[in-house]
Structure 1
Amino acid sequence: MYSSDKLPDFVKRYLKKFSLPIWTISRDYKKLFQNIIVIPSLAEFEQLPHCLKSLEQNDESLLDKTLVLIVVNNSESADDEIKLNNKRTLQFLKSYNGTLNLSFIDAASKGKELPDKFAGVGLARKIGCDLALTKFDYSSDKKKIIFFLDADCIVSSDYLLKVTSEFHKKDLHSAVIEYEHHYSKNSPEAEAIICYEIFLRYHRLGLKFAKSYYDYHTIGSTIVCDTASYIKAGGMNKRKAGEDYYFLEKLAKLDKIFTISEALVYPSSRKSWRVPFGTGQRIIRHLSKKQNEYVAYNPESFRILKKWLNYFLDENVIDTKSILNKAREINSGLFYFLINQKFERDWERILKNNQSAEEIQKQKIYWFDAFKTLKLIHYLRDNGYPNINLFDAVDELLNRMKIKSDIDRHSEIPDIQIQEQYLLFLRKILRERFSDDN
């Protein structure tokens, strides 16, 4: 096992600058690992064992080289019910006798809780990943891979095999794993999660149509990266929600995010209070029927994005005034968005500080990043291109992409069987038609 002074210099520098010294690893192992799966766990006593059982079904030789690291966490002011649930989880982990190399971090007991100001999934992931950096076998020439997972997920039996194989075969640095929300067809949540996943996949298909550099899905439990990329990205952030979105954006600015389509993560489709937005909150909102959930971004927004990217990313396009004039020609909403985002000021600064064509191309990707892409879609939504019916949006986008669907729909909101056909079709085309489009 490494003492801290035997860690590589780049790891030591990161830990000195960013790590949080309060927490430690329990059930530690003397050996070191090639892969570490970091799993935050907040009141997950009932769900976590199912996640671990799915991991146990993976290849034995790979499991031997893999550490599963659970971060049991709650805030200082968490309800007693949450604290009791976490206490039961800690007892379960202490007595675990399964086939996994299983360690855990106690960020839940008195004196070890997450501070209220920062408590959340971002900080929990960060604690786990930062400590994971001390448990890798840096003497090996194999990639050192961090897997991000959630306690309420299960994974396919080839999860480790497919991911490690792709990382080594294609020399990947960061990726997302394909996902399918797990749901029971007869549950109240089924309709809600089908609607939400159709929305997510429609959005990703729109980014594919526009040929966006940031065309990956942003689900935290599907992220994978090597240790070098984790450190170069500055580590995980402390956000209470959306930590996955911003971390992936940082990874993407280091290297293109690859999608591993053969392995699968199955996120839960349950209602959840754990984060202020995301899947759990979307399910709650859908079931409350407070608003129409069957809406999506106008496909015209993706057409505008496509025309903009096609022009802006041309290596011959440099002049600021020409760019703004072309943006106005493409769409006035795009032009005013760029003005609001201080494009002219930023672009002049970029040109001043970057001389080579290669550097300028990089800066185009950096400036018009994932967040600005989403902000443009939202700006267009609020300025002339309002949301439309979800299924109309999917049909129109498929038509624009010349993808034929045999789904027979006769109403704005079809029955659950037709909705599921849409979901399965979107899963299929994103996996089959775009699996090599990385």
Structure 2
Amino acid sequence: MQKSYPEKVSYYLEKKSLKRWNLEWAESSGIQVAIVIPAICEFENIKRVLLSLVHNDKSCLEKSLIIFVLNNSIASKPEVKDDNKKSIAFLRGMINRKSSDRIAGIIFNSGMHIGLIDAAAEGKEFDDDQGGVGLARKVGMDIALEVFDYSTSEKKLLISLDTDCVVEENYLDEIIRSFTKHNFSAATVDFEHILSEDGIDKLGIISYEIFLRHLVAGLLFAESPYAFHTIGSTVVCDHEAYIKIGGMNTKKAAEDFYFLQKLAKHFTINRISSTKVRPSARESWRVPFGTGRSMIDFSTNKKDILLYDADVYVILKDWLELLYSDLSLNSNLILKEAKKIHPELYNFLENRGFSMDWEKILENSKSVKQLDYQRKNWFDAFETLKLIHHLRNTSFPMIDINSGVEKLFKVVQHSAKYELSGNKHNLESLYMGYLAELRLLENALHK
């Protein structure tokens, strides 16, 4: 294994990385891309994600390492640990080229490099209080820094993916091309959930994706610097950006949200729309919210998925215009103007201690660049969602999908080409129409 690293990489590995786990792989030179995939109780899905990756361009696969972080906690159920043991045996067979599995030949001939981090064996398990997807991603990404070939000027890319996803044939090529051609530091890849054949589950995942795209379209309309999807299986950054923000966090859930928030404070989060990740729509116990939890709530708990009232995006847009204007240079004046936008915006800022914080920020900011950073830092993605939720709780309750989508289209003046009302469409086709229009709107607002 390579022992000589650039100075910043060496410093990060010494100060920030975790030393408890090791990478098993058939060592090779020339690795420029690491695809990090956490896995817990995912034996069949590991094969599926590999079979989707294997169709990518061979020249891309030859410089990529797919790192599976097999993990469970000490208290994980026996069936979870047994499934992980099967996965570890399968991956070791692939790495050592001794597997008799039916897909082995396809993998061996593809040029693909596979790596395994065993965080499931006794003595290597995650602690019950810290174990989870954030820690798994961090372990994989940190170790990826050790295998990159730093002798070339090519970007070293850290790609976050999940086992319940499939990718398109141009996935690696488009990511590498986008980062190289446009000098990206960070990006998210477009996504489209795999739709279930079951009518109820299908409607549930369509509704959930409508919720996600409705929110991001609203944030784009408001011109928020945090207008991007926070889905772990879509995140990509280069190694320099990763080191700059101190690496991945170890949260059990929402690790993708906080990771992207940190990236967005220093870099533009670009969007790669020329290829897609396709996450599954399964119900899942793995995290307490997100796709899996939403599917459980919809299909099992019979909870309808609701949308934010588009009026909150109008208030957010007006607030951001005020925050980034010269009026913000006076801490008293900015609060008076905020109250004119909406009384609950003013109440939110007061409750969050904005006035005192802002006076300190104005006093300590020595340049426009510093002030712009502090604006983005104080009113970050977390505060943005806090404001949206405050407005939801005090003035603008969540509304049904039909009302929410049509109101957003009206607010942003989006001319929908789909029949959005009337009785001639069933609910599924109507929602598919909404989803198609929201994708178009998202593309238009990005431009």
TM-score by length of 1: 0.96
User: Distance between the aligned counterparts of 2:181 and 2:32, measured in 1?
Assistant: 16
Secondary structure at 2:114's aligned position in 1? strand
Residue 300, structure 1, aligned to residue 298, structure 2: no
Greater Cα shift, 313-322 or 228-237: 313-322
Paired position in structure 1 for 2:371: 360
Q: Deviations over 1:391-415 (max 9, x none)?
A: 211111111211111323237x961
Root-mean-square deviation (CA, aligned residues, Å) is: 1.4
What residue in structure 1 maps to residue 292 of structure 2?
Answer: 280
Written as runs of structure 1 = structure 2, the 5 A alignment for 1:91-170 is 91-96=89-94, 97=104, 98=107, 99=110, 100-170=112-182
Residue deviations 1:170-218, cap 9 Å, x none? Answer: 1100000000001134454211100100000000010011111111110
Cα distance in 2 between the residues matched to 1:419 and 1:207:
21
Aligned to 1:235: 247
Question: For residues 241 and 140 of structure 2, what CA distance do their matches in structure 1 show?
Answer: 16
The structure 2 residue matched to 1:403, chosen from 414, 426, 444, is: 414
- Distance apart, 1:332 and its partner CA: 0.4
Contact 2:142 2:247 in 1 (8 A): yes
Instruction: Give the Cα separation in 2 of the matches to 1:16 and 1:218.
Output: 29
Q: Distance in 1 between matches of 2:14 and 2:115?
A: 23
Task: Supply the distance in 2 between the matched residues of 1:424 and 1:289 (Cα, whole angstroms).
Answer: 27
> In structure 2, what is the Cα distance between the partners aligned to 1:354 and 1:408?
49
Report the equivalent of 2:97: none
Among 421, 429, 435, the residue aligned to 2:441: 429
Residue 220 of structure 2 contacts residue 446 of structure 2 at CA under 8 Å; is this kept in 1? no
Aligned length: 431
Q: Which amino acid letter does the alignment assign opposite residue 178 of structure 1?
A: D
> 3-state DSSP class of the match of 1:150?
coil
Other structure's SS at 1:67 match: strand
SS at match of 1:266: strand
CA distance in 1, matches of 2:56, 2:23: 24
Counterpart in the other structure of 1:216:
228
> Counterparts of 1:114 and 1:151 in 2: how far apart (Å)?
19
Asked if 1:56 corresponds to 2:68, the answer is no
Q: In structure 2, what residue type is equivalent to 1:18?
A: K
Q: Give the corresponding residue for 1:81.
A: 79
Counterparts of 1:348 and 1:27 in 2: how far apart (Å)? 53
Asked if the contact 1:118/1:238 (under 8 Å) is kept, the reply is yes
Q: Provide the secondary structure at the position in 2 that maps to 1:237.
A: coil
Deviates more, 1:388-397 or 1:213-222: 388-397
Q: Could you report, residue by residue, the CA deviation over 1:31-73 in whole angstroms, capped at 9, with x for unpaired residues?
A: 2411110000110001111101111111111111111111011
Unaligned runs of 5+ in 2: 95-103
- Counterpart Cα distance in 2 of 1:22 and 1:30: 22
Contact 2:420 2:434 in 1 (8 A): no
Equivalent pair of 2:282/2:292 in contact (CA under 8 Å): yes
Aligned to 1:314: 325
* Unmatched 5+ stretches in structure 1: none
Q: Could you tell which deviates more after superposition, 49-58 or 401-410?
A: 401-410
Give distance in 1, aligned partners of 2:436 and 2:27. Answer: 42
Match of 1:376 among 383, 387, 395: 387
1:205 aligned to 2:213? no
Could you tell me how far 1:301 is from its partner in structure 2?
0.5
Worse-matched range after superposition: 183-192 or 116-125: 183-192
Contact 1:261 1:435 in 2 (8 A): no
TM-score between both structures, scaled by the size of structure 2 = 0.94
Q: How big is each residue's C-alpha offset from its partner over 1:88-124, in whole Å with a ceiling of 9 and x where there is no partner?
A: 1011111124121001100111111111110100000
Q: Which stretch of the first structure deviates more once superposed, 88-97 or 155-164?
A: 88-97
Structure 1: distance between partners of 2:351 and 2:426: 39
Q: Percent sequence identity over matched residues?
A: 41
Tell me by how many angstroms 1:156 deviates: 0.8
CA contact (8 A) 1:38 1:69 kept: yes
Q: Is the 8 A contact 1:253 1:366 kept in 2?
A: yes
Which letter maps to 2:432?
Answer: E
Q: 1:59, 1:161 within 8 Å by CA — same for their partners in 2?
A: yes
2:100 corresponds in structure 1 to none
Alignment of 1:3-22 (within 5 A): 3=3, 6-22=4-20
Using the alignment, how far apart are the partners of 2:369 and 2:251 within structure 1? 33
1:323 maps to 2:334 = yes
* Secondary structure class of the residue paired with 2:397: coil
Q: Is the 8 A contact 1:67 1:101 kept in 2?
A: yes
8 Å Cα contact 1:25-1:105 kept in structure 2: yes
